[in-house]
Amino acid sequence: MVQPFLSLYIDTLGNFSDDYVQTWSGFIFSITFVSAFLFSPIWGKVGDRIGRKPILVVFAFGLGLSLLLMGFVTSILQLFFLRLFMGVFTGFISLSQALISTQTSKRVAGKVLGTLQTGSITGTLMGPLFGGILADLFGYQSTFKWLSLVLFLSSLLVLFGIKEFKVQEDSAIDQTRYTSREVLLHILRQPVLLLIMLMSMIVQIANFSIQPILPLFIGELHGSANLAFFSGLAFSASGLGNLLFSRRIGRLGDHHGYVKLLTLMLILAAVVYFPGGFVTALWQLIILRFLMGIFIGGVIPLRIAYIRQAAPIEMQGEVLGYNTSLRFFGNMIGPMLGATISASLGYSAVFLSTASLLLISALIMIYAIKRHPEYAVNSL
């Protein structure tokens, strides 16, 4: 909700030059992912010890408090440190995945996590729209305060509306508590699991590489008329594809194998990314963005469902925490990489390099499946 106007809010905090605002906008956007990257494994480990529900309550409350205070800042540094503080609690979705995965059978994990992804993407689609409307109606500071109330309410809903059960798996559970060293060794000893976690980073790099330049590219294609609206339309197209198909793709993974289908999604994402650099009309780009949303978004439930099957239940929170850290690392790298390539080689080079990255990742996955076919079959 705050992404459409965060840079504009920064501009209201003083009499700054455009370059200064743009530079600090980059810092303030990125700093949240830095702290999230550092704290995700810690929260995952704590969740394995005491349960996921208490951590979700803390996350929602911490996010709400961060945004409430942002509505009162008077300087850029105050906003910077609050965004840093907010990153400590930026793991609600991934921990929700860990909670829900432990409450469901492995047989339907892909379908259920695909449903969760549907809810997440719906929020991603609606958030910028509602945030922009509220900012126009009530101003930036009031929007932060209203949003904080929503998050406080979410904290209460989790606290009083959810009961976390100790789920018994299909086989007896060894209640051993794993050290961080044992968790890391478990990941390293399973090459396919390690690769799929690295795919989390690759997919986020691919997803975020185009975002800094997309409005500029659309302006070149369509002109400056209603640029914000058409940029939003192009952004939403990928989210819509994700929304419509992520649950179905998760269900297919339950029946046909998560790893094989994930590899296919990477190949198809590369195929639709490649022509993006050669489009000549906005409608062509929107169609490609919609298809990209289907294939990139399909990776998410498949990835989480595979981790659910490959990691013992006692360490799943910590494994998913490492997975989330890799995702946040991709969030940091993607925009910087896309902006650097675009400045040096042009818009088309961003699409081509991203397509190549996805294709190389798919080829590595194919090689891993051939070397370790036992890891590519769902354990039902």
> By three-state DSSP, how is residue 311 classified?
coil
Residues 336-347: pLDDT tens digits?
777 778 777 888
Residues 206-263: pLDDT tens digits?
887 777 677 677 778 877 666 556 766 777 777 778 777 877 787 787 777 788 888 8
Residue 174 has pLDDT above 60, yes or no: no
Whole-number Å distance between alpha carbons of 20 and 23: 5
All residues at 6 or more sequence positions from 273 whose CB lies less than 8 Å from its CB, including other chains: 206, 288, 292, 351, 354, 355, 358
Higher-pLDDT residue of 329, 275:
275
Which of 191, 207, 194, 209 is CA-nearest to residue 323? Answer: 194
* Residue located via tokens 């439930």: 301
Whole-number Å distance between alpha carbons of 59 and 81: 17
All residues at 6 or more sequence positions from 57 whose CB lies less than 8 Å from its CB, including other chains: 155, 158, 159
The answer to whether residues 104 and 116 touch, using CB atoms and an 8 Å cutoff, is no
- Show the CA angle centred on residue 73, arms to residues 69 and 75, nearest 5°: 150
All residues at 6 or more sequence positions from 276 whose CB lies less than 8 Å from its CB, including other chains: 210, 285, 288, 289, 292, 351, 355
Residue 173 has pLDDT above 50, yes or no: no
Residue 380 has pLDDT above 60, yes or no: no
Q: How many residues make up the chain in this entry?
A: 380
The answer to whether residues 357 and 364 touch, using CB atoms and an 8 Å cutoff, is no
Region at 176 (left for phi over 0; alpha for psi -120 to 50; beta for the rest): beta
All residues at 6 or more sequence positions from 355 whose CB lies less than 8 Å from its CB, including other chains: 270, 271, 273, 274, 276
Tell me phi and psi for residue 280, to 5 degrees.
Answer: -120, 0
Whole-number Å distance between alpha carbons of 220 and 96: 40
The answer to whether residues 230 and 218 touch, using CB atoms and an 8 Å cutoff, is yes
User: pTM score > 0.95 for this model?
Assistant: no
Which of 182, 125, 147, 154 is CA-nearest to residue 53? Answer: 154
Which of 47, 127, 34 is CA-nearest to residue 95? Answer: 47
Higher-pLDDT residue of 18, 80:
80
CB atoms within 10 A of CB 345: 12
> By three-state DSSP, how is residue 223 classified?
coil
* Residue located via tokens 């489009």: 279
What is the model's pLDDT at position 155?
92
Whole-number Å distance between alpha carbons of 273 and 285: 10
All residues at 6 or more sequence positions from 251 whose CB lies less than 8 Å from its CB, including other chains: 110, 111, 114
Whole-number Å distance between alpha carbons of 85 and 79: 10
Which of 63, 70, 61, 89 is CA-nearest to residue 28? Answer: 70
Name the CATH code of domain 6-160+178-373 (choices 1.10.3860.10, 3.90.740.10, 3.40.1010.10, 1.20.1250.20): 1.20.1250.20
Least confident span in 132-136, 212-216, 272-276, 333-337: 212-216
The answer to whether residues 111 and 251 touch, using CB atoms and an 8 Å cutoff, is yes
Average pLDDT over residues 257-284: 88
Crossing angle of the two packed helices 180-188 and 191-209, in degrees rounded to 10: 90
Residues 34-90: pLDDT tens digits?
888 788 777 877 877 788 888 999 999 999 999 999 999 999 999 999 999 998 888
What is the model's pLDDT at position 49?
78
What is the model's pLDDT at position 223?
74
Average pLDDT over residues 133-151: 86
Could you tell me where the DSSP H helices lie in the chain?
Answer: 6-11, 18-50, 52-70, 76-87, 92-102, 109-138, 140-161, 180-188, 191-209, 214-222, 227-256, 258-273, 282-310, 316-345, 347-371
